Amino acid sequence: MKIVSKRLLDEKKKFKKDFFYNLKEGIKILKSTTSAKFNETIEAHISLNIDPKYSDQQLRTTVILPHGTGKPLRIAALVSAEQIFEAKKAGADVYGSDDLIDNISKGIVDFDLLIAISDMMPKLAKLGRVLGPKGLMPSPKTGTVTTNLKMTIEEFKKGKLEYRADKNGIVHFILGKANFSEEQLIENLYAFFTSVERNKPSGVKGKFIKKLTLCSTMGPGIAIDFTTFA
């Protein structure tokens, strides 16, 4: 039997269960429930009316958050041997050519995001089994395959983030940290929500977004009435 802590029970008393709060009210309550002894991550979970097993109902793209996620992003750049200095100068934390491919094949994956120059993609094909399950395989859809290394690295360092719907049609997304202001969280959420709406898959019929829930790492889920965003 799952044991619910006294702290979590106290946090749940701060709002009504099964009630949908408007954006500002929901964010205010959310921040009040971040009582853990560390800087909790703020998450958004959007349930969509899609069936990802169909190619025209899949959602995978990127969005640039105005205030980032509050989490440092360790970026690796796969480039040609001639571009290694360029990758270092552009701000990549890990960079390399065939040597980086060798390290990845050995299971050395010490980065959060892999950006690849277009010409290097054929060499990555054999690493799909390593990178695929971790969600690290570069893709043109997410902007991680590029011909402009400097601009791409700068965008991701500033707050560009990839997201995708899981097999149940739910998008799990990091909005920021508990020490973000209400305004910062609202602006990040609005950018994310707008991006989801804009990237509605072509195969979706009828209502697209079913439910939006916000929570912190250790806090309860708070339902948000996304029709109040306008």
Report domain extents, the chain: 16-69+161-228, 75-158
- Look at residue 230 in the predicted model and tell me its pLDDT: 63
The low-confidence residues of the chain, meaning pLDDT below 70, are: 1-4, 230
Distance, in Å, from the CA atom of 93 to the CA atom of 99, rounded to the nearest integer, reads: 15
Distance, in Å, from the CA atom of 202 to the CA atom of 185, rounded to the nearest integer, reads: 29
- Look at residue 1 in the predicted model and tell me its pLDDT: 47
Class of domain 75-158 (CATH, top level)? alpha beta
- Look at residue 2 in the predicted model and tell me its pLDDT: 56
- Look at residue 4 in the predicted model and tell me its pLDDT: 59
Contact call for residues 193 and 132 (beta carbons, < 8 A):
no
Residues in CB range of 12: below 8 A, 6 or more apart: 220
Distance, in Å, from the CA atom of 80 to the CA atom of 97, rounded to the nearest integer, reads: 5
Torsion (CA) 82, 98, 92, 124 in degrees, nearest 10: 120
Annotation: CATH topology of 16-69+161-228 = Ribulose 1,5 Bisphosphate Carboxylase/Oxygenase (3.30.190)
Predicted confidence (pLDDT) per residue in 100-144, tens digit: 999 999 999 999 999 999 999 999 888 988 998 888 999 988 889
- Look at residue 174 in the predicted model and tell me its pLDDT: 93
pTM: 0.80
- Look at residue 3 in the predicted model and tell me its pLDDT: 61
- Look at residue 72 in the predicted model and tell me its pLDDT: 86
